[in-house]
Structure 1
Amino acid sequence: MSSRPAPGRTRKARVDPTTAGPALPVTPLPVAAPAVDWRSVPPTALSPILTEALAAFRENGYHGTSVRDIARRVGVTVPALYYHHANKEAILIGLLDPAITALYERCRLALADAGDDPVLGLSNLAECLMLHVTHNTHLAHLDNEIRSLSPFERESYVEKRRRIELLIRGTIENGVRSSVLVAESPKQTARALLGMFQSVAVWFRAGGERSATTVTADYVVTALRSVNAPERALQPFLG
């Protein structure tokens, strides 16, 4: 039988891999981004307008601060400020929304870091929330001003905060089912704990008598004891 190729077809030359030219470059597989450390709370980057607005709200309250006050502190005209923010409510939202969004993401990471251990999960969540209120105290305290938002914007913010509450509640429920935590009402317990953490922003001051580390440890222990967590879970926070 003839080995001649059929009409219209050509025989492919065989390539000896030992004598072939350099191989084509291989595209490397994408490398996963390094995991974010949820315990790291870097300073919040704010624009000059938001920085001065936060300081003014802290000193005088939302209703006690006018757009003109903020513009004067920044050193710009009121029309220039309105170029960046439609109104005073938009400035408040510009402070609240990124803060609660970032906090929720850190809480998710903290919970994931605990794996299937609900005790460690609650401990991590408590620590994460306390790190927020002791490192972003002014922003955390601003949570009290949500009553000044319009109904739509207030509900939008509350829904984002509710997601954090649900992380706490779900973790407590898992602990109760596993018989490692005790709570008559995980829903009410989660709400009470979130309120307890939030209240720290009212009085805590960086550089004050009690350090952020001490306050965080104390409140994590209180949270764990409120649900009868095993003593071993408290040890890392007991000085």
Structure 2
Amino acid sequence: MVDPMSSGTGETDVRPAKQPLGAWRDYGEPELPIPLAAALEAFAEQGYHGTSVREIAARANLSVPGLYHHYPSKQSLLQGLLERTMTDLLARSEAAILEAGPEPVKQFDAVVESLLRFHMYRREQAFVGSTEIRSLDDDYRPKYIGHRDRQQRMVDEIVFAGVEAGDFTTEYPKDAARAVATMCVGVSTWFKLDGLLGPDELISRNLQLARALVGYRTN
């Protein structure tokens, strides 16, 4: 579970309540406040710098002063959106790993599936998070990078544990772990829920690729 958001972004504690087993696989519509949902739509379509506060307010059916009542700046909207994105991602990854139990192979399969599902079902949020890091103010950027590093460490630690246990044969566990995470994140740039490749088939294919990257020992 990540820490609550720092003050100044218009957000309060957004940590989710404890979820039942398997809930990390469950996705409905993103539960975003109306201003953040409007900002997400605009940022995904036009980019942060191509979007005005007035346009976000219009999409949210608010006046500009009304929007500022909730979020004092366009930057606070971006930060609030990315903080919620990372809170959700990290919580799902941690839940998946915990449910998998202590075996590195099962943990690996679980975290890969979780990352893939997130980048399919939260595609726009993940896309904005990946492309707009350059737009973050200096006071928040280190925190956001810290969230991303925390997610990468989860994958790193599992791959190193798998190598130590003899389950994975890669000679380059750090590089393999980063390649696995990059592959999962990349799904947000091309996957469509109504496309020819369904979520379960994508997970099956990419799990095979991820296992190949770490040198999964089949016998």
TM-score by length of 1: 0.79
**Which residue pairs with 1:104 in the alignment?**
90
**Which residue pairs with 2:13 in the alignment?**
none
- In 2, the alpha carbon distance for the partners of 1:191 and 1:44 equals 27
Letter aligned with residue 173 of structure 2 = P
5+ unaligned residues in a row in structure 1: which ranges? 1-31, 233-239
Task: Quote the offset at 1:36 in angstroms.
Answer: 5.4
Contact map agreement 1:118 1:172 (CA 8 A) in 2: yes
Structure with greater Cα Rg: 1
Letter aligned with residue 62 of structure 1 = Y
Contact map agreement 1:172 1:183 (CA 8 A) in 2: no
Three-state SS of the structure 2 residue aligned to 1:113 is helix
- List aligned pairs for 1:1-239, cutoff 5 A: 34-35=20-21, 37-143=23-129, 144-231=131-218
Residues 74-115 of structure 1: per-residue CA shift (max 9 Å, x gap): 222111111110111111111111121121111111111222
- In 2, the alpha carbon distance for the partners of 1:151 and 1:216 equals 36
Contact map agreement 1:130 1:216 (CA 8 A) in 2: yes
Residue-pair matches, total: 201
Letter aligned with residue 171 of structure 1 = I
Three-state SS of the structure 2 residue aligned to 1:209 is coil
Three-state SS of the structure 1 residue aligned to 2:139 is helix
- In 2, the alpha carbon distance for the partners of 1:141 and 1:231 equals 34
Contact map agreement 1:100 1:160 (CA 8 A) in 2: yes
Task: Name whichever of 157-166 and 186-195 sits farther off.
Answer: 186-195
Letter aligned with residue 60 of structure 2 = V
Letter aligned with residue 100 of structure 2 = A
Contact map agreement 2:173 2:214 (CA 8 A) in 1: no
Contact map agreement 2:86 2:147 (CA 8 A) in 1: yes
Letter aligned with residue 123 of structure 1 = D
- In 2, the alpha carbon distance for the partners of 1:130 and 1:33 equals 19
Task: Quote the offset at 1:147 in angstroms.
Answer: 1.3
Distance 1:133 1:122, change over 3 A: same
Contact map agreement 1:53 1:91 (CA 8 A) in 2: yes
- In 2, the alpha carbon distance for the partners of 1:199 and 1:182 equals 24
Task: Quote the offset at 1:34 in angstroms.
Answer: 4.2
Contact map agreement 1:134 1:201 (CA 8 A) in 2: yes
5+ unaligned residues in a row in structure 2: which ranges? 1-17
Contact map agreement 1:135 1:212 (CA 8 A) in 2: no
Letter aligned with residue 132 of structure 2 = E
